[in-house]
């Protein structure tokens, strides 16, 4: 599934006709969301537009992403009055815009740039390609046709999306194309080792200790291949870790031999349980997440459980998982 060239042309005209633009991404943003928002924001600023960028609160970069260029574009959603043109990146549906959803759906033009297979095409213009490994891959491929130019700072942002969404070029979404784009971004000045040190050697001691605690309580069920663990709010407080630092926490469950599906149940501050799911390439976890009211990719997905306790949420998930 490629991107419709007519849609790219329409997006190009909208950008050319606009003096200002708001660039947004999804709640609980990850490396691809940060890289897409800031990379595209910088491209648009370079094209002469007045750019504001945001995502649902908290609009803060986790420590390991603080090196990213373009932070000065960020503004709190409370101070945002979207009108004219909004561009949403890495955002599968308008509901993922959280408190920004209502205001966004009222603007004249929404360009929706994303790679989630379950994207709801909520834009007035949709540049969606589920074959792309990251949203930053689409931004790289389409920049020229959108009338946008890249520089070193933008290359750093786009590489960040690529290296995080592909699990450092090792997940099943990694293709020869991914490496070709990465190579070109490196030629533009993205430094793989520097970004590795910032992102993947960027954990605080508190975060490492929280990881140790989580792994020590993980449960593995060989019959279903499910490895799972619950993380209560109290634990975040005890270890001094913010929720927005925990997007990659589940990766520590994924090195387990013989597992098929990893599930991390995180208690939110409203008491509900958000479930992050990851699977090996032969297991489709996106369908499971969608049947439970969430969404995502084939091997990386999530949802928020309406059940009141971890035990109930676990049973709910197991009911959707088909044993191999």
Q: Which residues bind Mn ion (CB under 5 A)?
A: 32, 90, 135, 165
Residue nearer to Mn ion on the CB measure, 91 or 292: 91
Name the residue with the smallest CB distance to Mn ion. Answer: 32
Residue nearer to Mn ion on the CB measure, 181 or 229: 181
Q: How far is the CB of 134 from Mn ion (least distance, A)?
A: 5
Residue nearer to Mn ion on the CB measure, 12 or 135: 135
Q: Which residues pair with 264 in a beta bridge?
A: 229, 276
Q: How far is the CB of 176 from Mn ion (least distance, A)?
A: 19
Residue nearer to Mn ion on the CB measure, 128 or 275: 128
Q: How far is the CB of 319 from Mn ion (least distance, A)?
A: 28
Query: For residue 86, what are its two tokens?
Result: 């909004």
Q: How far is the CB of 218 from Mn ion (least distance, A)?
A: 25
For residues 122, 127, 131, 133, the Cα torsion angle rounded to the nearest 10 degrees is: -100
Q: How far is the CB of 136 from Mn ion (least distance, A)?
A: 8
Q: How far is the CB of 250 from Mn ion (least distance, A)?
A: 15
| Spatial distance between the Cα atoms of 57 and 76, rounded to a whole number of angstroms | 7
Residue nearer to Mn ion on the CB measure, 47 or 61: 61
Residue nearer to Mn ion on the CB measure, 14 or 163: 163
* Closest CA relative to residue 118, chosen from 324, 293, 315: 293
């Amino acid at each position: 599934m490629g991107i419709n060239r007519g849609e790219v042309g329409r997006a190009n005209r909208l950008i050319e006709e606009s003096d200002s633009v708001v660039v947004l991404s999804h709640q609980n943003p990850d490396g691809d969301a940060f890289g897409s928002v800031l990379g595209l924001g910088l491209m648009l600023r370079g094209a002469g537009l007045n750019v504001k960028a945001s995502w649902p609160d908290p609009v803060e970069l986790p420590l390991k992403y603080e090196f990213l260029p373009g932070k000065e574009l960020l503004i709190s959603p409370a101070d945002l009055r979207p009108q004219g043109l909004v561009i949403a990146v890495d955002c599968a549906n308008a509901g993922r815009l959280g408190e920004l959803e209502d205001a966004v759906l009222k603007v004249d033009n929404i360009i929706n740039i994303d790679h989630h297979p379950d994207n709801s095409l909520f834009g007035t213009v949709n540049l969606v390609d589920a074959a792309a490994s990251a949203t930053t891959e689409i931004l790289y491929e389409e920049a020229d046709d959108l009338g946008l130019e890249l520089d070193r700072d933008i290359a750093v942002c786009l590489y960040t999306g690529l290296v995080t969404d592909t699990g450092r070029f090792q997940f099943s979404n990694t293709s020869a194309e991914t490496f070709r784009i990465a190579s070109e971004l490196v030629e533009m000045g993205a430094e793989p080792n520097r970004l590795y040190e910032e992102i993947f050697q960027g954990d605080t001691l508190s975060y490492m200790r929280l990881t140790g605690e989580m792994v020590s309580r993980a449960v593995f069920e060989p019959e279903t291949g499910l490895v799972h663990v619950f993380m209560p709010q109290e634990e975040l407080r005890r270890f001094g870790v913010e929720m927005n630092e925990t997007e990659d926490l589940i990766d520590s469950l994924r090195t387990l031999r013989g597992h098929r599906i990893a599930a991390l149940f995180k208690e939110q501050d409203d008491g509900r349980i958000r479930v992050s799911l990851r699977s090996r390439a032969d297991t489709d976890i996106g369908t499971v997440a969608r049947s439970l009211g969430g969404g995502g990719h084939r091997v990386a997905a999530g949802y928020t459980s309406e059940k009141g306790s971890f035990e109930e949420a676990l049973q709910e998930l197991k009911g959707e998982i088909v044993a191999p």
